[in-house]
Chains A and B, each alone.
Chain A
Amino acid sequence: MNGLMDLLSGGFLPRFMAGMVVNFEIALISIAVGLALGMLLALGRLAGGALGGATASLVALMRAAPTFVVMFFLLNAVPRDARLFGISFALSGVMTVALSLVPYSAAYVADAGLDMLRHLRAGATHGALLFLPNVTRAFFVLVMSSSAGAAIGVTEGITVILRQAEQLPVLGDRLALFAVGIVLFGIPLQVAFILIGMIQRHLGRAAEVTDEASA
């Protein structure tokens, strides 16, 4: 256990926090692109007809695409010197992970966005506002999923933990370090879920009051 304490006191926490910033950065890029793409898909589904059917199929495909495979596809199939309209778009590690999460985030936003649009059409504003906590939940799922970047050498939180663990020869120390990692990842996640739950309850109560008033 001394080995673990030495490591923890030796600049591990600042490195881990810097790594977690990368996790949030990846999630932010992914949710931003997902919001733009997902809302377009939601509008397409709302339109119905052939467009609605095609959009629904596309969303189903995106939902089924495994993030980890998409990440390796982007990493290996996009040339390092790729250009689009004359602009180089060689993907960095962070961008590769972020874009690999876009099928998930866009499909999620498309589902949640469709609900929101239907609520808005029905005049249920509070129901529509549930879109916000839902997107926030997706954001934190993306933060957790961004740890896949460890597989391609992106220095995010889990990568920092794994590099630190390699210096610990004793299994017990490594498991203790992993536990520290779970706590550090878990605190923001659980706090966020509590807040989301509170917001949802608040919106639910507000919707009930509105319904009663309109009745």
Chain B
Amino acid sequence: MIRRVLTALAALAVMFGVLPVQAEAPDAALAELLAQTRAKIPGACTQSDVDRLVRILCEKKIRIGVRDYYPLFAMRHGSRREGYEVDVGLAIGRMLGVDVDFIRVNAATRIPLLADDRIDLIIATMGHNTQRDTQVKFIRPHYYQSETVVVGPRDLPVTKMADLAGRTVCVTIGNGSNAQLVAQGARLMLFDEAGVLPDRLRDQTCRLAAQDDSFFAKYFAEPDFDARFEAKFGFAQVPWGMAVARQGSDELARALELIIQIFHRDGLFIDIGRLHSIGLRFLEQQRQVWRRIECNTADGSRNTACILPPLDAALKQTSFAPVVGAFEAWVDRATGIELTLPMFKTAPAWSVFKDGIAYSLILITGALAATLAFAVVLGAMTGTRSSLLRWPARVLTVLLQSSPIVLTLVIAAAVAHGMFAYSAAVALGAAIVALGLANGANAGQAIGEAMWSLRAEGAGDVGLFGKALSRSATQIVAFLINAAKGTPIASFIGAPELLSALTDITSFSSGRVTTYSMLLVFYTAVVMLVVFLCRRLQRWLERRPAGTAVPA
């Protein structure tokens, strides 16, 4: 009797929501989905518009796109493949009861191959971001998560983002995290392939390199590499997703969602990850998530409390981006030249580009003014009769002439950073002083020599300096032009001029050839303008009466 009453109460409680209803488990949902799909076989196998899951079960084979060379994750040795993603692919094949046909993909081909129906599934180190969400259907939960790590020599004092200001970091073109490095004031050295980064660290071409932690994991497993280098810090976490085609893959996507849920909950990803020595922190976190009651359900993969959002990688477009795109297409049609103008298409690139031009013009103007000022001061000192003033100026001139301009810039930057915290303005100021000193010393020497030659010809001290300026006009102008030409080198110490700006833009967009061609045209045009203005200055100096008073 009591038992009947309790049973009735329990039934009422369930009916009125007093006790939680045990939701359908993902295992049961998967079994039901596969059973329903198999029930359509073999009839549906001859139909053309069936879901990919039907076709996979009909053909008893799934085509999975994996990478050929991504250490620990997917490697190919002859006909043998190994790695975390390879084993995950095989486990999925077992769950579906089909064979796995691995097909080689890389970062550029994985999405087109899926769109061309040459593969059914991508498992190829692909970060899930909002931009790719429009191209493929990502499967959630995610099967891994990577972050960008900055790697460098153990003795290098870098521990956080702020320490990167003014330092050069080697990166690969198109890496989504490059923009963040740029924002911290790091200078970027660009490479096409990540594979070269460890070697460039070893031969010291790069002091720091930034790349996925999953990429560096293999190298840290090597004792020699691990002894010399360490991961300084990580940033820009991005979840990795498997992906299927956006059309005709709904049931396949659903099956994969349930399979991945089960793999996370049961710790299979951790087992496979441990086998291949990859980082397990994310996988362990995910196991906890997918063991939770609210997540371990057939609808868990649609519960926002259980899944991770994609990385928001979409860059805001400029208002005139469509016009630029149309212009690029027109040039392509009319000339066959593939013109790419990334600096005009996205808001961050446009902002960096505008700032770059403004800073370049400030730098050129500043360098010209500084050259003229140092030339006048050092010229007056070198040409004076007082040895107390003359010798320090001569020593300084010889030192500056003996120092390559890169070294002079580095010294100026080191002194400036010793006095002030790093900033774009400090780098710009240091560059102006360095360029002014290097060129002004030479021009000053010419002025000083002109003063002495005028004295030797019997000229008096009255108006001597003006006459010397006239006589050394050619040299002054030559070094003014040299100063203008030398301004792009200021990017070496982190001055945010146009070369720096465009290097930053190309690090997170395409169009390198167009970008650097524009840069070359810009600087050459500016220098030619400076040459034109300097020639007018030279004529003015030479026309002055003082200049002709004592013929050379």
Contact = CB atoms under 8 A, between A and B. Distances in A.
Interface in B400-422: 401-407, 410-411, 414-415, 418
Interface string A158-191: 1001110111010100110010011101110110
B519 A72 contact: yes
Contacts of B499: 68-69, 72
B489 interface: yes
A150 interface: yes
Contact of A61 (B200, B513, B524): B524
A77 B517 contact: yes
Contact of B410 (A144, A155, A162): A162
B519 A69 contact: yes
Interface string B415-432: 100100000000000000
Given A73-B516, A148-B406, A174-B414, A66 B399 contact: no
B487 interface: yes
A80 B155 CA distance: 33
Interface string A75-87: 0110010000000
A67 interface: yes
A64 interface: yes
Contacts of A76: 190, 506, 512-513, 515-516
B156 to A, nearest CB: 7
A54 B506 CA distance: 34
Given A73-B519, A182-B402, A186-B402, A64 B527 contact: yes
A185 B407 contact: yes
A163 B207 contact: yes
Contact of A147 (B200, B398, B407, B513): B407
B503 interface: yes
B402 A185 contact: yes
A189 B418 contact: no
Contacts of B192: 80
A158 B531 contact: no
Given A64-B528, A167-B155, A153 B407 contact: no
B290 interface: no
A70 interface: yes
Given A145-B405, A158-B404, A68 B488 contact: yes
B157 A169 contact: yes
B431 to A, nearest CB: 12
B206 interface: yes
Contacts of B180: none
A60 interface: yes
A171 B190 CA distance: 29
A66 B189 contact: no
B315 interface: no
B528 A60 contact: yes
Contact of B531 (A64, A69, A77, A189): A64
Contacts of A144: 404-405
Nearest to A23: B404
Contacts of A183: 402
B390 interface: no
Nearest to B403: A182
Contact of A151 (B406, B418, B520, B523): B406
B150 to A, nearest CB: 15
Interface of B is mostly: helix
Contacts, number: 130
Contacts of A162: 410
Contacts of B404: 144-145, 147, 157-158, 185
A25 B190 CA distance: 25
B157 A178 contact: no
Contacts of B418: 171
Contact of B527 (A66, A155, A167, A185): A66
Contacts of A190: 398, 401-402
Contacts of A61: 524, 528
Judged by DSSP, the binding face of A is helix
Interface in B155-191: 155-157, 189-190
Interface residues on B, range: 35 or more
Given A61-B524, A65-B524, A66-B486, A182 B405 contact: no
A153 B200 contact: yes
A152 interface: yes
Contacts of B519: 69, 72-73
A153 B398 CA distance: 28
Given A73-B519, A151-B492, A158 B411 contact: no
Nearest to A80: B192
Nearest to A61: B524
B449 to A, nearest CB: 12
B38 interface: no
Interface in B508-530: 512-513, 515-517, 519-520, 523-524, 527-528
B401 A189 contact: yes
Nearest to A79: B513
Contacts of A70: 520
Interface in B474-491: 485-489, 491
Interface in A84-124: none
A189 B401 CA distance: 9
A61 B403 CA distance: 27
Interface string B104-145: 000000000000000000000000000000000000000000
Nearest to A146: B404
Given A73-B516, A148-B406, A66 B207 contact: no
B204 interface: yes
Interface string B522-542: 011001100100000000000
B516 A185 contact: no
Nearest to A193: B401
A166 B207 contact: yes
Interface of B: 155-157, 189-190, 192, 200, 203-207, 398-399, 401-407, 410-411, 414-415, 418, 485-489, 491-492, 499, 503, 506, 512-513, 515-517, 519-520, 523-524, 527-528, 531
16 contacts: A61-B528, A64-B528, A66-B527, A67-B485, A69-B516, A69-B524, A72-B488, A72-B516, A145-B404, A147-B405, A153-B200, A158-B404, A163-B204, A181-B407, A183-B402, A186-B402
Interface of A: 60-61, 63-70, 72-73, 76-77, 80, 144-145, 147-148, 150-153, 155, 157-158, 161-163, 165-167, 169, 171, 174-175, 178, 181-183, 185-187, 189-190
Enumerate the 8 nearest inter-chain pairs by beta-carbon distance, A residue then B residue, closest first.
Answer: A186-B402, A153-B205, A147-B404, A64-B527, A147-B406, A68-B488, A68-B489, A182-B403
Given A171-B415, A182-B399, A186-B401, 19 more contacts: A64-B524, A65-B524, A66-B485, A66-B524, A72-B516, A73-B516, A145-B404, A147-B407, A150-B406, A150-B492, A152-B189, A153-B189, A153-B200, A155-B203, A158-B407, A163-B207, A167-B155, A186-B402, A189-B401
